[in-house]
Amino acid sequence: NAGVMQNPRHLVRRRGQEARLRCSPMKGHSHVYWYRQLPEEGLKFMVYLQKENIIDESGMPKERFSAEFPKEGPSILRIQQVVRGDSAAYFCASSPTRATYEQYFGPGTRLTVT
């Protein structure tokens, strides 16, 4: 049973470019969460999605960041016009139901903005 998959594992972008991070949840999981980890910090919640729905985006910056989880295909976290402060590790997690508290994490995408 494949775990949560994220790609790319490493992404380098120049300031002003767009970054697209992909996440495929575990088989049978329909709930996806995105977290960001800055150096020496814990993981910070960004957004919680179900298929075709954003359930909670209270942790998302108001500008430049968006997320989707279409009916078919992976969940996408999109960062437009990246700045150096966006450099971080971005983790995706999934769970089978909302009632399941345990979330299973992917390996992360390390974004570096130069």
Partner 1 sequence: DQQVKQNSPSLSVQEGRISILNCDYTNSMFDYFLWYKKYPAEGPTFLISISSIKDKNEDGRFTVFLNKSAKHLSLHIVPSQPGDSAVYFCAASVGGSQGNLIFGKGTKLSVKP
Name the residues that contact partner 1, by CB under 8 A. Answer: 4, 6, 31, 33, 35, 40-45, 48, 55-56, 58-59, 91, 93, 95, 98, 101-108, 110
Supply the DSSP symbol for 25: P
C-beta of 49 vs 79, nearer to partner 1: 49
C-beta of 81 vs 100, nearer to partner 1: 100
CB of 17 to partner 1, least distance (A): 24
CB of 30 to partner 1, least distance (A): 12
CA 25 remoteness from chain centre: 11
Task: Name, in order, each residue with C-beta under 8 angstroms of 101's C-beta and a sequence gap of 6 or more.
Answer: 95
Phi then psi for residue 64, to 5 deg, are: 75, -20
C-beta of 14 vs 101, nearer to partner 1: 101
C-beta of 23 vs 79, nearer to partner 1: 23
Phi then psi for residue 43, to 5 deg, are: -80, 140
CB of 2 to partner 1, least distance (A): 14
Find the radius of gyration of the CA atoms of the chain.
13
Give dist(CA 82, CA 21) in Å, integer: 13
CB of 72 to partner 1, least distance (A): 22
